[in-house]
Structure 1
Amino acid sequence: MPKSNYSVGDPKAEKMIQDLVDFCGNDAAPDLIKEILTTVVKMGLEHKDRGDFKLTNNTLKELRHAFRVFLPYREKRKVVIFGSARTPESDPSYRMAQDTAQALVDKGHMIITGAGGGVMEAANRGAGRENSFGINIKLPKEQRANLHIEGDSKLMQFKYFFTRKLMFIKESDATILFPGGFGTLDEGFENLTLFQTGKCMPRPILLAEPENGTYWESFVRQFEEELLSRGYISSIDMNLFHIVHSAEEAVQHIEDYYRYYHSLRYVNEFTVLRFTRALTPAVLDYLNHEFQDILCTGNFQASDALEAEKAHNEFPDLPRLVFQFNKQDYGRLNEMILWINRNLT
C-alpha cells in the first residue's frame, strides 16, 4: 500500500519527481512509481556508501529485466523444476525430469529452471525452447546455460541469488524438486518456509524421484523423527509437500491442484479463494464443519468478486470462497484446497 505522506520533504525535488511520474505516462501505478523515485532520491541525499548503491542498482535492473521477459507469458501456468546440475543423463532422475517437463508442456504449462546442467538441462530439454525459461546465476566459476535454453530470449542472467530466487517463486505456480545438493535443498526449504508462513501463494510442492528412490524418503523420516517429534514443526506442516515417483504422478498432482482452484487474494481482513466452478451448498456445509479451526471468526461464504477485485478487473467472473483466515495454518489451508478439488462436482 503506497504511503500518502512518503516524500523527500523538498518542494523542488517533489516537483522533479512528479514530472518524471508524468513523463512515464503509466496510469496503472503512478503512486508506486512516485514512491520508487522518492526512495531513490532519499537514498541519494542520505547515503554515501557506493556498495549499497551498486546493490540497489543491480537489484532493480535484474528485476526490471525479468519482469519484462515474463510479462507476455503471465496468462500461462508455469512449473519450476529444481535438481542437481551434476545429474548425468544416465541417471533415472534425468529421464524422469525430462519426461515430467514434456508431459507438463503437453498439458499447457511452461517450465522454469536454473538453466544449468543435469536435472535443469533435462527439464529444458523435455519442455523445448518454446516453452522454457532459464534463470541462470553468475558464479565465479561461470555456470554456462545448457544447450536447450542457451541463446534464447527467455534466458536471464542474475548476479544475486535473492533476486533469482524471488523470480522462481513469483513467476511459477508449482515446484518440483528432484534430488540435488545444497542449492536444491536451499530452494526446497525456501519454498516450504514461504508457504508455511504465507509469503507465497498456495502451490503444489513435489519431492520427485524415481520408484524405489531413497533421497526424499530419508528427508521425510528426518522431518518426522527430528523436527516433528521435537515440536519444531507441526503435523499440519507435513501437508505442504507431496512425494511423487513418476512423471505421470507429478503431472496428475499438479493438474488436480488446479482442477477447480484458481488463485488466492487478500482483501483487507478477508482471504479470497477463486475457483473455476461455484461451490455447492454441500461443500460449504462441510467446510464450515471441518475447517472452522483455520478461521479467526465467522464462516466460509460463497461470494462474487469483491469490490477491490472488480476495481482492478481481477477475474471478475470467477466464483469465490471468502473467509477470515488465521494466516497461520497454511498446511490446513492446503489440505482444504485439495479437498475442494477432489469433491467439487
Structure 2
Amino acid sequence: MSQDQNRKARLARTDVSEDHPLVTEHDPTTERTSRLVEEIKETADKFARDRATRGDLKIVSRALRELRYAFKVFTPYRRDRKVTVFGSARTSPDHPAYQASLAFGKRFADAGWYVVTGAGGGIMEGAHVGAGRKMSMGLNIMLPFEQESNYVISNDEKLVNLKYFFTRKLMFVKEVHAVALFPGGFGTQDECFETLTLIQTGKRELMPIVLVDEPGGSYWKDWQQFIIKQLEKNGLISPADHSLYKITDSIDEAFDEIMNFYCVYHSMRYVKDKLYFRLHFEPTEELLEELNTNFADIISSGIIERVDAHPQEADEEHLAHMPRLAFNFNRRDMGRLRQMVDCINDSFDACAVTWSPDD
C-alpha cells in the first residue's frame, strides 16, 4: 500500500458515526434510566424539605431546564462526529485567524463532521461560515454584549441559547469528539484550560485537542513557552502532559491530528479496576510487547492483555465485536495514556494491508 493510500485509509477508518460510545450511554429505554429520573424527582423534593432559598432554586431550575433542552437538541446528532471550535468573538473577517477558522470549518464539514461553536462572531462565525449552516451547531451564551448569534446559525434548530457558562461548557466538551482552539481572550483561555483539566484529571475520556495558529502566527507558541517556563519547570505539570494537545499553524496538520486519533483506537471504558481500550484492529504480539515494555510505569499491577468484551459492556452490543486491550491503569498519568494511544495508532502500518474500506 502506497503512503498516500495508507493515509487515506487511516482517515477513512475514523468514521465513528455508527458505533461511538455516546450512543448507548443515552439509551432511554433501560430500567436504570427510569431510576435516574426518579432520583432527579427525589432531589427536587429534598430542596423543599431543606427549605432552599429562592435564589438557589432559580439557579438549579434554570440549569436543569437549559441542560434538558440542550440534550434534546443534541440527541439526534449523537451518532454524528463533531468538533468544538473555540476562539475570539472579536476577530474581524479580514484577519488571518478568521480565515484559518473558516478553512478549518470547511475542511471538517466536507469530511462529514459537525462544527460546534459558541455561535458568536469572530472565530466562531468563521468556523460556521466554513462549515455552512447544515453542518453547524451553536451554543450561544446570553450576555449584555456579544450575545447575538452569528448569521450562519441564527434561528437554526441546532442552536441552543444558555444563561450559564457552566452548562454551556459541559455541552462543548461532553458532546464532541475533538476540540480546536484558535487565538482568543480570557474566554478562550478559560475554555482551553478547562478542557485540558478535564482530560488531565480523567473527568472526560481522551480526545484530540488542537491549538491552531494562523499561518506563521505565534499565539499558541508563546502560550507554550509560558506553560513550559511556569508550569512544567516548576513541577506543576508533567512533561507528558504536553501530549494532551498539539500546537500547529497548519489546517492540514490539525485535521490529520484529529482524524488519526481514531484510526486504530476507538474508545475507552473502565470496568471495575481495569481500563478497556476498544480498537478497530486486532493488536499484534509485537505491539503488545512494545506497550508492556514502554508503558509499564502507568500500569498499577499486572500487564496489558488482549481480552474479549467484559460482561458489563453488554449495554454496548454494537462494540462487542471490537478487539480490546485491558490493564490496570494508575488513573493518574493521562499524558502517558495519550502517548499509549498514539503508539497504538502508529501501529496501523503493520495491519493496514489487512483492511479495506468495505470492512
TM-score, structure 1 as length reference: 0.90
Q: 1:291 aligns with which of 284, 291, 295?
A: 295
Aligned-partner Cα distance in 2 for 1:282–1:249? 28
Are 1:276 and 2:288 counterparts?
no
Aligned-partner Cα distance in 1 for 2:118–2:181? 12
Alpha-carbon deviation of 1:312? 4.4
The structure 1 segments of at least 4 consecutive aligned residues displaced by more than 2 Å after TM superposition are 24-28, 311-314
Q: Partner of 1:83 in structure 2?
A: 87
Q: 1:64 aligns with which of 58, 63, 68?
A: 68
Higher relative contact order (CA 8 A, sep 6+): 2
Q: 2:181 aligns with which of 141, 165, 177?
A: 177
Q: Which residues of structure 2 form unaligned runs of 5+?
A: 1-27, 352-359
After the TM superposition, which residues 133-144 of structure 1 pair with which residues of structure 2 at under 5 Å, given as runs? 133-141=137-145, 143-144=147-148
Alpha-carbon deviation of 1:142? 5.3
After the TM superposition, which residues 186-201 of structure 1 pair with which residues of structure 2 at under 5 Å, given as runs? 186-201=190-205
Contact 2:89 2:146 in 1 (8 A): no
Q: Partner of 1:242 in structure 2?
A: 246
Q: Partner of 1:31 in structure 2?
A: 35
Alpha-carbon deviation of 1:334? 0.5
TM-score, structure 2 as length reference: 0.87
Q: Partner of 2:230 in structure 1?
A: 226
Segment drifting more, 162-171 vs 38-47: 38-47
- Aligned partner of residue 93 in structure 2, secondary structure: coil
Q: 2:52 aligns with which of 34, 48, 55?
A: 48
Shift of the 37–156 alpha-carbon distance from structure 1 to 2, 3 Å rule, reads same
Amino acid aligned to 2:212: A
Amino acid aligned to 1:185: Q
Alpha-carbon deviation of 1:314? 5.4
Segment drifting more, 26-35 vs 331-340: 26-35
Q: CA RMSD in A?
A: 1.4
Are 1:320 and 2:324 counterparts?
yes
Amino acid aligned to 2:340: M
Aligned-partner Cα distance in 1 for 2:77–2:90? 30
Aligned-partner Cα distance in 1 for 2:320–2:156? 35
Max Rg structure: 1
Are 1:125 and 2:129 counterparts?
yes
- Aligned partner of residue 224 in structure 2, secondary structure: helix
Aligned-partner Cα distance in 1 for 2:230–2:64? 40
Alpha-carbon deviation of 1:79? 0.4
Aligned-partner Cα distance in 1 for 2:96–2:146? 27
Give a deviation string over 1:50-71, Cα, whole Å, max 9, x none: 0111111111111111111111
Percent pairwise identity: 43
Q: Partner of 1:265 in structure 2?
A: 269
Aligned-partner Cα distance in 2 for 1:48–1:90? 51
- Aligned partner of residue 202 in structure 1, secondary structure: coil
Aligned-partner Cα distance in 2 for 1:186–1:40? 31
Are 1:116 and 2:120 counterparts?
yes
